[in-house]
Amino acid sequence: QALIPFLFLPFASALFPTSLTPHQFQNPISMRSDDGQWRCRVPVNKVAIVGGTHGNERIGVHLVTHFTENPELVTRPSFSTSVVLSNTAAVEAIGTGAGRRYVEEDLNRCFSNQRLNSEPCDAESVEMKRARELDMLLGPKHSEKPNSDFIFDLHSTTANTGVLLCYHQHDTFSAALCSFLQSRDPSVSLLLWPAGADLGLLPTVGRGGMTVEIGPMPHSTVNSTLLRRTMQLLQDSLDFIHQANTLQGLPPPPPQPPRVFSSAGSVDFPRDAEGRITGFIHPDLESKGELREGGALRDGDFVFQNLDGTPVPFDRATHVPSLSGQDSELYPVFVNEAAYYEQHKAFIVCNRVS
């Protein structure tokens, strides 16, 4: 089947600047035009598919096992693919096959340069020790020749995200790949990683990469429909990489930009003086498709419902004071994500950047 045209470079200079600061990817893979086609400026020679970064997000765990037993599914002629189970201790925890998010701390916050470059010590968490192992296996981070040119980190979420792909704003190859995937399936949403000087996310140890989120899916379970969608997305992605490497089958991009969002802030649950939650996500917000056309959150929209049934409307100045006075539309994402309760986040609000 012919590939659908993907969206990218006409808007690259505005959305995905190529100037890099020291904390960003070394020798990033980028895209270039050759006679109206696109190809990798730096060929993708080594791809990694990672699952189990959070041990109770089982879709990645099962896909890692499946691809390990069936390597032909992720094999392409122009690059090698490795399959890695990341937080093995959290995956095996409890003993029920359910796993837990982490043992001592979130593995997906352990990959900052500051932490990876610090001196190892006996008191380090299970996750930090594993992060150092994964950095050597898949990186090392910011090295001239990392062991991974591109990393797919597979996650699931309890939120109604559908397929959500997250990547660094300066990773132009991820931007092209995500634009292509959204052109094949317009329901795919794109979200830039949080801006910051030293991100601790697992894919940052490679030359490029992305976080694949898919939901809604209760933790410790697998939804077979969403599993199949993830498998198809990976197949399409690997095909894209091979065709970008070989300059075969990639048509010129169409004129419209991809639909991309960036995080603008987070909103906590209503709480009493002792910090206890007194209101939960309102059904109107719970049922809203995340990062969708027409899905902007406006002042007055119900976002919480108190225990006595009283609805709580959204108020930008109250709920996101840092955005008070701004008139940009806000879109909710990761609404009622179970893992974010401990972080005092009921949902995240985003700006649309294209």
Q: Give 11 or 280, the one with higher predicted confidence.
A: 280
Residue 13: per-residue pLDDT: 36
Secondary structure (3-state) at 209 = strand
**Report field, pTM of the whole predicted structure over 0.75:** yes
User: According to the model, what pLDDT value does residue 299 have?
Assistant: 96
pLDDT in tens, 321-344: 999 989 999 999 999 999 999 999
**In this predicted structure, what is the pLDDT of residue 36?**
54
- pLDDT cut 70: percent of the chain above it: 88
Positive or negative, the CA dihedral 39, 41, 43, 49 is negative
Q: Is the pLDDT of residue 4 over 60?
A: no
- Give the distance between the most distant pair of CA atoms in the chain: 64
Contact 38, 214 (CB under 8 A): no
Strand-pairing partners, residue 210, are: 152, 167
Please tell me the distance from the alpha carbon of residue 84 to that of residue 202, in angstroms, as a whole number.
12
Cα gap 271→35, rounded to integer Å: 59
* Residues 146, 291: Cα–Cα separation, whole Å: 33
Partnered with residue 333 across adjacent β-strands are: 348
Q: What is the CA radius of gyration of the chain?
A: 20
Burial class (CB in 10 A: 0-12, 13-18, 19+), 109: middle
What pLDDT digit, counting tens, does each position of 197-250 carry?
A: 689 999 999 999 999 999 999 999 999 999 999 999 999 999 999 999 998 887
Does residue 158 contact residue 41 with C-beta atoms inside 8 Å? Answer: no
- For residue range 83-142, list pLDDT tens digits in order: 999 999 999 987 777 899 999 999 999 999 999 999 999 999 999 999 999 999 999 998
Rounded to an integer, what distance in angstroms lies between the CA atom of residue 78 and that of residue 267?
45
Average pLDDT, rounded, for the chain:
89
